[in-house]
């Protein structure tokens, strides 16, 4: 599809303010994305076919759309801080990067998007857009922003949280600094289970009940979700340690949302107060050795027996599966494979809590559940388990929704996963903030060739990009949380998770690089941040699945 653009000579006219230029550049990039999406839709009979037939193009479209969406949110945030020049500079820098990255992806294999060189004239022949990109991405501008980052000691500006959420942030910031951070290195390097020194205070603070209404023993107001509160708490705990604290409320979040979606009133009254109190702790068992993001392919069997069901099969990557006292298990209750996701049901499986790396639970009937932790390069503390069910009995009362819940397990699982995705974006922001803070401190202290490395242009450029990236990821996470509280934003939650997970991997890599050889040493926290960040693009929906099956598919379905 070719776009004809009439270009006027505006080279002698003054440029509009940076935020307006950023909007214009972003609009041009989004226009190209829309054209590319429409082209892919025309090439296939359905959105599902389009995603399968054009995977590389769809992946790049989803990633670009996610990055541009983050830029939109950040520009809106900067507009609310019109008197804060620094926030505006970070926003326009990030927008220039997002537009440039999008254009580069589209140019790389333009034919796959139905584009040719003429289509890029909407940018290439627009002097104001080109001037904006050149100015924002010039070395002297990046270095100047980096200098300001150093002068401000990493302060990225107001987050515009209300009083309630600011109090939550400050409370958990102190807890993260005073309790989590001092224990984090031991948990990581010795591969320990999360200690009670972290768990017990968090139970007392009510952290496991953030997604549970007050009528069921939680902290959430009746009929009023507070996803933003959960996000703020998750971000601060992840700043202390992703594995030892930042992921603790993800599993109760998923389980409680599933219960609220499909549980009977009796089940809600029984389980939600316990989950809110953190007794028992819980875990989610959905992934299988051959079925990860493809949840509809689950094979673990649940066979009807007198008074309940017998579970047989395996699960993997069940995080906190040993310590947990109850597992949310997705199983196939209908043997007919053609039913796919319609043949799945959800069970609440009780077990004995264990701190060990291996456990075995044998029932009086002979049923058995065994678990073995999986050694990982990072994200230690919660321990992810392989689970094996051998005629393990679960009573009828423990099927989610009881008799009416049979065949609906997939939908109950999905009810919790959107919350898990936006929470993962918050975890990414917490890890990035920790890495950024350590990098800033080290850069000002480490002397190379007779001066601190913070004085060098390249270091300033790195710090500027890190600051802009954190601010963008934080803002999309906060704003999408508010959307979700109004019943919207599921696709944007996937976008936030996709983009923030990738951003965390790049930023922690740069943080390690700033530390040089010390960054590669286990005694330096940035090595842990780097190892931990790698999991963010994998769990709670692998980036490929989110990009293709969620974001790209939805974009194609909505295209005109």
pLDDT in tens, 446-491: 989 999 999 999 999 999 999 999 999 999 999 999 999 888 888 9
pLDDT at residue number 391: 97
Integer Cα distance of 247 and 426 in angstroms: 10
Query: Tokens in use for 241?
Result: 């340690």
Listed in sequence order, the DSSP H helices in 55-206 are 55-80, 85-108, 121-124, 127-136, 139-151, 163-175, 181-189, 196-204
Tally of residues, the chain: 560
Sign of CA dihedral 462, 463, 464, 465: positive
Q: Give the Cα separation of 216 and 202 in Å (integer).
A: 18
Predicted local distance difference test score (pLDDT) of residue 158: 92
Q: How far apart are CA 31 and CA 418, in angstroms?
A: 28
Is residue 358 annotated as part of the catalytic site, yes or no? no
Q: Are 435 and 529 in contact (CB under 8 A)?
A: yes
Residue 280, preceding peptide bond in cis (omega within 30° of 0): yes
| Contacts for 252 with CB less than 8 Å, ≥ 6 apart | 208, 209, 211, 212, 275, 276, 278, 281, 282
Distance CA 479, CA 231 (A): 10
Tokens of 76: 């809106």
pLDDT of 541 reads 82
pLDDT of residue 73: 96
Q: What is the mean pLDDT of each run of 10 residues along the chain (560 residues)?
A: 37 70 94 95 90 95 97 94 90 97 96 93 90 96 98 94 95 97 95 96 95 92 87 97 94 92 95 96 91 70 96 95 96 80 92 96 96 94 95 97 92 79 95 98 93 96 98 97 90 95 98 96 95 93 92 91
Q: What's the pLDDT score for residue 296?
A: 65
pLDDT score of 335: 79
CA distance 287 to 300: 10
Among 424, 487, 475, 481, which Cα is nearest to 229's?
Answer: 481
Residue whose tokens read 């959105």: 47
Q: Which token pair is 104?
A: 């580069």
Task: Tell me which of 406, 540, 543, 557 is the catalytic residue.
Answer: 540
Q: CA 95, CA 471: separation in Å to the nearest integer?
A: 12
The answer to whether the Cα torsion of 331, 335, 340, 343 is positive or negative is negative
Dist CA 430 CA 330 (whole Å): 30
| pLDDT attached to residue 13 | 56
Cα gap 66→551, rounded to integer Å: 8
Residue located via tokens 């293709």: 548
Helix axes 409-445, 490-514, angle to 10 degrees: 30
Phi-psi region of 361 (alpha: psi -120 to 50; beta: other; left: phi over 0): beta
For residue 410, the model assigns a pLDDT of 87
* Lookup: tokens for 464: 């500027």
Q: How far apart are the two ends of the chain, measured CA to CA in Å?
A: 14
Nearest to 487 by CA among 224, 166, 233, 240: 224
Q: Provide the token pair at 449.
A: 């060739």
pTM of the predicted model, to two decimals? 0.92
Beta-carbon contacts of residue 7 (< 8 Å; ≥ 6 apart): 121, 125, 126
Q: Which domains does the chain have, with CATH numbers?
A: 18-137 (1.20.140.10), 282-411 (2.40.110.10)
pLDDT at residue 15, rounded to an integer: 60
């Amino acid at each position: 599809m070719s776009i004809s653009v009439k270009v006027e000579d505006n080279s002698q006219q003054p440029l509009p303010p940076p935020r307006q230029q950023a909007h214009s550049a972003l609009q041009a990039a989004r226009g190209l994305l829309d054209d590319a999406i429409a082209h892919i839709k025309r090439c296939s009979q359905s959105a599902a076919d389009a995603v399968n037939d054009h995977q590389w193009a769809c992946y790049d479209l989803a990633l670009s759309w996610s990055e541009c969406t983050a830029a939109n949110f950040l520009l809106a945030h900067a507009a609310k801080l019109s008197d804060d020049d620094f926030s505006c500079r970070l926003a326009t820098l990030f927008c220039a990067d997002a537009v440039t990255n999008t254009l580069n992806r589209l140019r790389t294999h333009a034919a796959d998007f139905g584009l040719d060189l003429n289509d890029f004239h909407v940018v290439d022949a627009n002097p104001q857009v080109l001037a904006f990109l050149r100015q924002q991405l010039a070395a002297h501008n990046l270095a100047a922003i980096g200098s300001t980052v150093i002068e401000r000691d990493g302060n990225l500006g107001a987050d515009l949280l209300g009083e309630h959420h600011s109090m939550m942030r400050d409370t958990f910031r102190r807890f993260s600094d005073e309790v989590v951070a001092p224990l984090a290195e031991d948990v990581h390097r010795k591969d320990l289970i999360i200690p009670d020194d972290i768990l017990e205070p968090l139970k007392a603070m009510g952290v496991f009940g953030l997604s549970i209404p007050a009528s069921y023993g939680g902290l959430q107001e009746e009929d009023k979700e507070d996803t933003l509160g959960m996000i703020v708490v998750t971000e601060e705990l992840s700043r202390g340690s992703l594995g030892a604290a930042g992921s603790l409320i993800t599993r109760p979040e998923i389980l409680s949302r599933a219960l609220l979606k499909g549980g009977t009133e009796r089940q809600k009254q029984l389980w939600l107060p316990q989950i809110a109190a953190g007794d028992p702790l819980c875990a989610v068992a959905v992934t299988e050795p051959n079925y990860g993001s493809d949840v509809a392919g689950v094979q673990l069997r649940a066979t009807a027996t007198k008074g309940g069901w017998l579970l047989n099969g395996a699960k993997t990557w069940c995080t906190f599966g040993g310590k947990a006292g109850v597992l949310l298990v997705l199983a196939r209750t209908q043997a007919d494979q053609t039913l796919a996701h319609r043949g799945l049901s959800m069970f609440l499986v009780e077990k004995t809590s264990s701190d060990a790396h291996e456990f075995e639970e044998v029932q009086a009937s002979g049923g058995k559940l065994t678990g073995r932790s999986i050694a990982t390069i990072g994200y230690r503390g919660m321990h992810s388990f392989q689970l094996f069910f051998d005629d393990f009995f679960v009573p009828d009362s423990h099927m989610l929704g009881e008799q009416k819940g049979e065949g609906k397990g997939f939908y109950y699982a999905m009810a919790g996963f959107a919350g898990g995705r936006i929470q993962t974006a918050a975890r990414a922001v917490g890890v990035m903030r920790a890495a950024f803070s350590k990098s800033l401190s080290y850069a000002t202290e480490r002397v190379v060739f007779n001066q601190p490395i913070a004085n060098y242009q390249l270091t300033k450029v790195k710090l500027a990009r890190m600051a802009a990236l954190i601010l963008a990821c934080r803002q999309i996470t906060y704003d999408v949380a508010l959307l979700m509280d109004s019943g919207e934003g599921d696709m944007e939650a996937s976008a936030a998770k996709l983009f923030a997970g990738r951003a965390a991997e790049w930023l922690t890599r740069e943080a390690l690089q700033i530390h040089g050889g010390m960054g590669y040493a286990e005694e330096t926290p940035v090595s842990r941040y780097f190892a931990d960040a790698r999991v963010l693009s994998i769990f709670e929906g692998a980036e490929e699945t989110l990009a293709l099956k969620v974001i790209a598919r939805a974009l194609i379905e909505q295209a005109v």
